[in-house]
């Protein structure tokens, strides 16, 4: 519905605090109307990058472009991107209506128009009946809605959200995630969303940018970062993964593979430098068998621990050489596999593993 | 309307209230040390309470008795107080000076506290020095210091005359101007402390949010920062007003007997003319006014004093 959304191009953005480099040469193209998530551990520079996008912080180096215009030096007021802060940052002395009306009054909109827009926005975020309450009288989820409404009511070209749900309980978090997704579709604005929760990032975004130590490690769709991580850090950060050390990496007729405890394991064809490396496989891509499979990878292992997770079972195994492997299976499948005793084979399709370069 | 917040909290804590029977014994055991520690606490403040009673409350009750017994029993002194033009004019002047001093020192303290809390590191340190050093110098010394500056042969007049800007000395002391100036100087730190505390509790992100929503600096100040520090303003104004009401040294010296304020009136009635009954009645009224203002202070501005902000 909105055509005001803009794209942003960060070109070689760096930020130093004294000798400490909080951001190192970050280049990132953000598409118009996209839902981009900045994901990374605490202290990785996500907030710093967001503050530079919003104009609250000045980058030490690099440029910021918007639709071909250099906006590096433009002030935060002039950029007027909507922003939802960690901890909401609502005006404590204003009630819900006044909070949401603030950006419209700044824009010198007529009283009638302000009233209409605020009422519409209150209805859209489900705050009807709470118009006259002060922020301190609202629950966490309601405060979050006010913050969203205040940031969206003036139809900003970009909405920046800094860990908006970190203070909410799991149930409410899920509901708010759905709501934010809906608001993104309704408004069509470019959303840039910071989180350190990988499942939140995977479920919400059109693309994920992964940060660590001030560096941008990978930008790709959720499926790509999950199934084709650029390096070991990304692979491990996005959820549980099995890492098998392999040697003698080389190509064969069906892909690229390496040796692990005497067996030849194969993954999809990819660039490699030979020698040793790591083969990474997600636990949910593995299954159990009582013999070595012919057209899939297989490793002999024995079960050492089982954890019941409700719908699934998490099995801890050890190979003959002592490497730990984790397999998650639907509860019934796991129960069937367990009847054959502790010694069995872990198998996975050849296209599901991927080789990670050594180091990093 | 503030009741809504505690309600929602109670709701969240609801389920945890149901205690298993074996927990009850633990609660019972806890009660004993808690009650004991409360008494120990009282023991610590008891000497202070006793001192206050001995030095203030008992003598004040004596003064209150004088006000209705001297020179003869009855409320005659209070009737005099309400009708005597001299007494009324002193009360009126006191309130006028209090209002001016409160306005000037709270306004100045607001600016000072702003730099103190939000300035650069150097600005903050300098402000701290400028607030603390005068704060540590006795009020009497400072009053005489002002007199040395402001009297008709004081430094200011000497300079102005030497530079040829004026022919005859300006009347800077021994009038309301001198009193206001001297008292403002004394009271600015008292206003700056609660204001700085209120400003410190303003969340930086709220101000950033206002900026991000497109507001100019002026609008952020009027619509966000000022209202968020309003409790500190009320607290500072009440503190200054209460102090000013009972001020004696500074007005007595800088007013030079011409701009008499209430406290000085009491002194004069008690020690210069044998009019103890009226002096006592004025004292009682003064204490009642101060008491009411202190009650207002604790009622409305306590969070700002303690640093809670909102
Ligand atoms: N004003 C500052 N002065 C000095 N160092 C800073 C400043 N602001 C941030 N940093 C440093 O920059 C690094 C990145 O901080 P940033 O707030 O961007 O992390 P983050 O990824 O948002 O982490 P979190 O998930 O904990 O919010 C941190 O190591 C932090 O200590
Ligand atoms: Mg952060």
Tokens of A145: 């809605």
Output the tens digit of pLDDT for each of chain B's 310 residues. Answer: 333 333 333 333 333 333 334 444 444 444 455 677 778 878 888 888 899 888 888 989 998 888 888 888 888 888 888 888 988 999 999 999 999 999 999 999 999 999 999 999 999 999 999 888 888 888 888 888 898 888 888 888 889 888 888 888 888 888 889 999 999 999 999 999 999 999 999 998 999 999 999 999 999 999 999 999 998 898 899 889 988 988 888 888 888 877 788 888 888 888 888 888 888 999 999 999 988 988 887 777 655 444 443 3
Report the range of poorest mean pLDDT among A106-110, A120-124, A210-214, B15-19.
Answer: B15-19
Using a CB–CB cutoff of 8 Å, tell me whether A274 touches chain B. no
Q: Does pLDDT of A171 surpass 90?
A: no
Q: Which residues of B186-214 are buried (b: 16+ CB within 10 A; e: fewer)?
A: bbbbbbbbbbbbbbebbbebbbbbbbbbb
When CB atoms are compared, the residue of B214, B227, B230 closest to A103 is: B214
Residue from B212, B216, B218 to probe the interface with A (highest A Cβ count within 10 Å): B212
Distance of alpha carbon B2 from the chain centroid? 27
Q: Do A85 and B205 touch (CB under 8 A)?
A: yes
> What pLDDT, in 10s, does the model give residues A243-260?
888 888 888 888 888 888
Using DSSP, state whether A279 is helix, strand or coil.
Answer: strand
- Banded model confidence at residue A49, pLDDT cuts 50, 70, 90: very high
Q: DSSP strand E in chain A: where?
A: 8-17, 20-30, 35-39, 61-66, 69-70, 82-84, 158-162, 190-195, 207-212, 215-220, 242-251, 256-260, 263-267, 277-281, 287-289, 297-308, 312-319, 324-330, 343-348, 354-356
Using a CB–CB cutoff of 8 Å, tell me whether A102 touches chain B. yes
Considering only residues A104 and B67, tell me which one the structure prediction assigns the higher pLDDT: A104
Task: Quote the CA–CA distance of B37 and B39 in Å, as a whole number.
Answer: 5
Distance from residue B170's CA to the centre of ligand 2 (Å): 61
Per-residue pLDDT, A249: 85
Pairing assessment for the beta strands A35-39 and A190-195 based on DSSP bridges: parallel
- B38: buried, middle or exposed (CB in 10 Å: 19+, 13-18, 0-12)? exposed
Residues in chain A with CB shorter than 8 Å from the CB of B233 are: none
> What pLDDT, in 10s, does the model give residues A206-240?
999 999 999 999 999 999 898 888 888 998 888 88
Place of tokens 């990304």: A234
> What pLDDT, in 10s, does the model give residues A288-345?
888 888 888 889 898 888 888 888 889 999 998 889 999 998 888 888 877 877 788 8
Distance from residue A227's CA to the centre of ligand 1 (Å): 29
Per-residue pLDDT, B34: 65
| Atom 29 (ligand 1) nearest CA | A43
| Atom 1 (ligand 1) nearest CA | A17
Q: Which residues, other chains included, contact A203 with Cβ-Cβ below 8 Å and sequence gap of 6+?
A: A177, A222
Task: Quote the CA–CA distance of A343 and A354 in Å, as a whole number.
Answer: 26
CB A232 within 8 A of CB A247: no
Using DSSP, state whether A30 is helix, strand or coil.
Answer: strand
Residue from A24, A40, A45, A87 to probe ligand 1 pocket by mutation (most atoms less than 8 Å from CB): A45
Residue from B15, B213, B221 to probe the interface with A (highest A Cβ count within 10 Å): B213
CB A190 within 8 A of CB A33: yes
- Sheet containing A61-66: which strands, arranged edge to edge? A20-30, A8-17, A61-66, A69-70
CA distance, residue A200 to nearest chain B CA (Å): 24
CB A353 within 8 A of CB A264: no
- Banded model confidence at residue A3, pLDDT cuts 50, 70, 90: low
The set of protein residues with a Cβ atom below 6 angstroms from ligand 1 is: A 17, 20, 22, 40, 42-48, 196
When CB atoms are compared, the residue of B205, B215, B223 closest to A77 is: B215
Q: Does pLDDT of A167 surpass 80?
A: no
| Across A144-171, average pLDDT | 89
The dihedral built from the CA positions of residue B218, B220, B226 and B229, taken in this order, carries a sign that is negative
Ligand nearest to the CA of A45: 1
ipTM of the complex: 0.77
Whole-structure pTM value? 0.77
Residue from B214, B216, B232 to probe the interface with A (highest A Cβ count within 10 Å): B214
CB atoms within 10 A of CB B37: 10
| Across A41-60, average pLDDT | 93
The dihedral built from the CA positions of residue A1, A145, A99 and A88, taken in this order, carries a sign that is negative
Distance of alpha carbon B256 from the chain centroid? 24
Task: Quote the CA–CA distance of A87 and A90 in Å, as a whole number.
Answer: 8
Task: Quote the CA–CA distance of B84 and B103 in Å, as a whole number.
Answer: 29
């Amino acid at each position: 519905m909105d055509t005001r959304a803009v794209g942003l191009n960060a070109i070689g953005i760096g930020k130093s605090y004294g000798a400490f480099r909080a951001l190192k040469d970050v280049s990132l193209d953000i598409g118009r109307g996209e839902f981009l998530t900045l994901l990374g551990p605490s202290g990785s520079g996500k907030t710093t990058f967001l503050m530079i996008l919003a104009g609250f912080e000045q980058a030490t180096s690099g440029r910021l472009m918007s639709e071909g215009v250099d906006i590096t030096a433009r002030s935060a007021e002039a950029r007027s991107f909507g922003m939802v802060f960690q901890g909401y940052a609502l005006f404590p002395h204003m009630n819900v209506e006044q909070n949401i009306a603030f950006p419209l009054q700044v824009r010198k909109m007529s009283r009638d128009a302000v009233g209409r827009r605020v009422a519409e926005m209150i209805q859209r975020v489900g705050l009807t009946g709470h118009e006259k309450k002060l922020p301190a009288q609202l629950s966490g989820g309601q405060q979050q809605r006010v913050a969203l409404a205040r940031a969206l009511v003036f139809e900003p070209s970009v909405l920046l959200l800094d860990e908006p749900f970190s203070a909410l309980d799991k149930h409410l978090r899920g509901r708010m995630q759905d709501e934010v997704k809906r608001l993104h579709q309704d408004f069509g604005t470019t959303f840039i969303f910071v989180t350190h929760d990988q499942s939140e990032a995977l479920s919400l975004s059109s693309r994920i940018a992964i940060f660590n130590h001030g560096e941008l490690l990978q930008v790709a769709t959720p499926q790509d970062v999950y199934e084709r991580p650029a390096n070991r850090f990304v692979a491990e950060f996005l959820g549980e993964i099995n890492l098998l050390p392999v040697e003698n990496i080389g190509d064969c007729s069906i892909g690229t593979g390496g040796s692990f405890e005497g067996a030849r394991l194969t993954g999809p064809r990819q660039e490699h430098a030979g020698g040793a490396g790591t083969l990474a496989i997600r636990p949910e891509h593995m299954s159990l068998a009582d013999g070595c499979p012919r057209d899939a990878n297989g490793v002999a292992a024995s079960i050492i621990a089982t954890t019941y997770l409700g719908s699934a079972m998490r099995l801890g195994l050890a190979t003959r050489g002592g490497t730990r492997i984790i397999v998650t299976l639907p509860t019934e499948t796991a129960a069937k596999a367990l009847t054959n005793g502790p010694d069995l084979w872990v198998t996975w399709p050849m296209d599901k593993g991927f080789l990670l370069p050594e180091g990093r | 309307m503030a009741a809504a917040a505690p309600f929602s909290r109670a709701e969240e804590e609801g389920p945890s209230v149901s205690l298993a029977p074996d927990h009850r014994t633990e609660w019972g055991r806890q009660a004993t040390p808690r009650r004991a520690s409360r008494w120990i606490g009282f023991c610590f403040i008891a000497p202070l309470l006793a001192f206050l009673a001995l030095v203030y409350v008992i003598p004040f009750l004596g003064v209150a008795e004088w006000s209705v017994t001297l020179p003869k029993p009855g409320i005659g002194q209070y009737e005099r107080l309400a009708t005597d033009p001299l007494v009324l004019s002193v009360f009126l002047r006191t309130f006028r000076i209090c209002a001016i001093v409160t306005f000037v020192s709270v306004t100045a303290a607001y600016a000072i506290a702003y730099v103190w809390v939000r300035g650069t590191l150097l600005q903050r340190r300098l402000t701290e020095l400028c607030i603390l050093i005068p704060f540590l110098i006795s009020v009497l010394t400072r009053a005489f210091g002002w007199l040395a500056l402001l009297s008709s042969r004081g430094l200011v007049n000497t300079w102005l005359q030497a530079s040829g800007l004026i022919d005859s000395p300006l009347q800077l002391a021994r009038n309301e101007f001198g009193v206001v100036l001297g008292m403002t100087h004394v009271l600015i730190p008292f206003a700056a402390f609660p204001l700085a505390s209120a400003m410190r509790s303003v969340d930086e992100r709220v101000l950033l949010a206002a900026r991000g929503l497109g507001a100019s600096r002026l609008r952020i100040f009027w619509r966000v920062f000022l209202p968020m520090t309003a409790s500190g303003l009320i607290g500072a104004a009440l503190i200054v007003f209460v102090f000013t009401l009972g001020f004696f040294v500074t007005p007595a010296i800088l007013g030079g007997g011409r701009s008499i304020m209430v406290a000085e009136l009491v002194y004069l009635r008690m020690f210069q003319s044998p009019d103890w009954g009226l002096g006592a009645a004025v004292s009682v009224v003064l204490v009642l006014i101060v008491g009411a203002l202190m009650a207002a202070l604790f009622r409305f501005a306590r969070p700002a004093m303690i640093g809670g902000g909102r």
